[in-house]
Amino acid sequence: MTTDSQFQSGRRRFIGGAAAGAFLLAMPWPRQAFAAEAGREAEFTTAWLRIGADNKVTVITPTAEIGQGTSTGHCQIVADELGANWNDIGFELAPVADAYKNPLFGMQVTGASVGLWSFMSILRNAAAAARTNLVATAARQWGVEPGSCVARNGEVVHPASGRSVTFGAAAADAARLPLPQAPILKDPKDFTLMGRPVPRLDIPAKTRGEAIYAIDFKMPGMLYAAVMKCPVFGGKVVRIDDKAARAMPGVRAVLPIPAGVAVVAEHFWQAQTALQKLDVTWDFGPNATLDGSELRKTFRSALERRGAELAPKGDVDAAFKGAYKVLTATYEWPFLAHATMEPMTANASYRDGKCDAWVGTQRPDLFRDELAKVLGLAPQDVTVHNLYAGGGFGRRQHTDSVIQAALLSKALQTPVKVIWTRAEDMQHGHYRPAGAAYVRGALDKKGKLIAFENRIATGSPQKVQYAATMTDGIDVASTASAVPPYEIPNRRIVYNLTEVAVPVGMWRSVGASHNAFVVETFVDELAAAAGTDPLEFRRAMLPAQSRERKILDLVAAKAGWGRPLPKGHFHGIALDHKPRASIVGMVAEISLSAKDALIVHRLVCVADPGQVVNPNACMAQFQGAIIWGLAAALYGEISVKGGRVAQSNFHDYRMVTMADVPSIEVEIHLSGADHEGTGESTAGAVAPSLANAIFAAAGKRLRALPLSLSRRGGV
């Protein structure tokens, strides 16, 4: 049995070797480094792994490394199934190729919290096939039955005779055998890496400032571009007076980009300084007067449309007619920016009818195809190199910055790096859609919820980004968590796809970030109307053996629900199950200051992802998504005025910082059900648990995000 401390010390040895000039496996672009070193060619190569003569195993991870840690998880899967020595494992981010399409979506996309488990079967089979051939090679050399040999710790061993051969020594011959199509997989009870808190492979470099992100990438002759798009959505450039900018030191060019202008200089600071010297005349277009109140009206009036219905059940109208008590409410939420810590950044080099791009991307295939289109090249003439990304959260599924870099590189025939300023990043996002919901609940005489209706009006990232995958006019991301996780005999969930001029996109947890707020705050309203304890009201709607009820009971016990709290402290509870993400129960403990300011003391959470590959990495995701949800609940708001985003940086698009962070207590409950995602799941329950605690404290229902006792929220 390998211990955690062995993992750590072993890993340190390996990184030590890399630093000493072997090769940089843990870096995301070692393909070049690998090939560049003579004699370092891999002996055994498939789409998913390479084995070198030196025993090093490189795993090709098909998802982006945006901080979620799937690269290490994929390595655990491959190493375990292969029987590799963990000290020999490194990874590379996949290039663009059909093999790396996510099997759920048929495209190369990192999103929806599925990156780890959706490749489980593919990676296990790939590793098992390699193991089969390594074993067959060794068995043939020894003249023994393959079944009498085992692969473990980076070697094939024949226990009966005590003979062994390293993977590296067997790799070249193993590569000459045809790959078995249906290799025999290991019994999960023999796994020594999966399910264990293996330290992440990317973390040591990230503590030393050595990890290379797109913003850090360099190549000879590279120029730097600062860009400015029309501040109003849908506007364009009429005229640019660039005389003053061109006279600035280091400036090489002032060039148009789609809906904007770029200054290209020898250094980024020169480019950014010169950009401010431009005198641009804009045509603000049709959205020049668009503002928040108009947008709010648009969403509110869309609630009255017929819409598309999802997951209908029972006879809702009859149930409402026969109800003892009916409750209605309207909820609202604003646009939100991703605000990745690394602002949008891209590098491109266009030369001789070919283009290379170095980016951190959640859609390498789309990046390649869109670059080919805009450059007039064949897709095979575009190569996308994926690097570590300084946060993704859905934002790096969009091609805007890489297209700018490629157009500039083509115009100047030299490599160009585009870096967006924070203001550019915040004002030209693809925002979590704003929207509104009208909810209605029917209680019978005993206070039981007999009918529930949820009418949502909001934007559709799926239509914008993945139109071909939409059916029946329903955006599965925008409607995530819109169906309550309870057994309610009659329900109607209606989606009114509402398009406005503000660009929208996928945003960590997407629809759960507002739907869980609406559903779980309104369920709390119904509990109050029924005169029932919020926990008991929910429990009564969940089957005794259900995973959801288990999670509710566990989180209630962990938080001490119903037990006395310190004076002035109050609890609020929420349950959420975003499809394909974990089941999450959350209890918030809050108090209110004398001036009605919200003080969050504890967020207690129990999450059931079914199973995990790396419990510590999953824990980090649960903790992180709580912070994500907390920032949105407390402060998150992108507002629109004059057709443009009013916020420009972190001083007015406020983030949670250390001083805001309550005690976050997460427990992972492994029910053994199929794997579910962890990256987004805990985000949705934060706002409703807080809103419900605020109601307990102040008797006031907050139905708009961000939560504020002192003002009205909304778009």
Footprint of other proteins (CB under 8 A):
8, 66-69, 197, 199-200, 202-213, 215-216, 218, 224, 249, 267-269, 339-343, 388-393, 419, 421-422, 616-617, 620, 623-628, 649-651, 655-659, 661, 664
CB of 609 to other proteins, least distance (A): 17
In contact, 208 and 232? CB cutoff 8 Å: no
The smaller minimum CB distance to other proteins, of residues 199 and 484, is found at 199
Looking at the Cβ atoms of 339 and 540, the one nearer to other proteins is 339
Nearer to other proteins, 574 or 603 (CB): 603
Strands 260-265 and 325-333: unpaired
CB of 102 to other proteins, least distance (A): 20
**Measured from the CB of residue 708, what is the shortest distance to other proteins in angstroms?**
21
Measured from the CB atom, the residue of 205 and 371 that comes closer to other proteins is 205
SS3 state of residue 106: coil
In the bound complex, what is the minimum distance in angstroms from residue 683's beta carbon to other proteins? 9
Written as one letter, the residue type at 453 is E
| Distance of closest approach, residue 218 Cβ to other proteins, in angstroms | 7
**335, β-bridge pairs:** 638
At its nearest, how many Å lie between other proteins and the CB of residue 389?
Answer: 6
Q: What token pair was written down for 505? A: 């996109």
Least CB distance to other proteins at residue 671 (A): 24
Short-list 416, 408, 413, 467, CA closest to 258: 408
DSSP of 302-354, one letter per residue?
A: HTTS--EEEEEES-HHHHHHT-SEEEEEEEEE-BB----SS-SEEEEEEETTE
Tell me whether strands 416-419 and 345-351 are parallel, antiparallel or unpaired. antiparallel
User: Quick one: 104 or 341, whose CB is closer to other proteins?
Assistant: 341
CA distance 503 to 259: 14
DSSP states of 447-464 as a string? S-EEEEEEEEEE--HHHH
Residue closer to other proteins, measured from CB, 175 or 685: 685
Burial of 446 (0-12, 13-18, 19+ CB in 10 A): exposed
Nearer to other proteins by C-beta: 240 or 419?
Answer: 419
Report in angstroms how near the CB of residue 204 gets to other proteins at its nearest: 6
Residue (224 or 695) nearer to other proteins, CB: 224
Q: How far is CA 702 from CA 278, 605, 698, in A?
A: 45, 22, 10
Q: What are phi and psi of 528, to 5 degrees?
A: -65, -40
Q: Min. distance of Cβ 490 from other proteins in angstroms? A: 38
Choice between 468 and 659, CB closer to other proteins: 659
Cα separation, 336 vs 343, whole angstroms: 15
CB nearer to other proteins: pick between 6 and 328? 6
Q: Which is nearer to other proteins, 212 or 308 (CB)?
A: 212
128 or 223, CB closer to other proteins?
A: 223
Q: Rounded to a whole number, what is the distance in angstroms from the first to the last CA of the chain?
A: 55
Tokens of 69: 């840690």
CB 391 to other proteins: min, Å: 5
**How many C-beta neighbours within 10 Å does residue 69 have?**
24
Closest alpha carbon to 508 in 485, 477, 548, 483: 477
User: Could you tell me the two tokens for 185?
Assistant: 């997989």
DSSP string, 254-301: EEEETTEEEEEESSHHHHHHHHTT-EEEEE-GGGTT--HHHHHHHHHH
> Shortest approach of other proteins to residue 393 CB, angstroms?
7
Shortest approach of other proteins to residue 362 CB, angstroms?
12
Q: Distance between CA 640 and CA 288 in Å, rounded?
A: 11
Token pair listed for 207? 């503590």
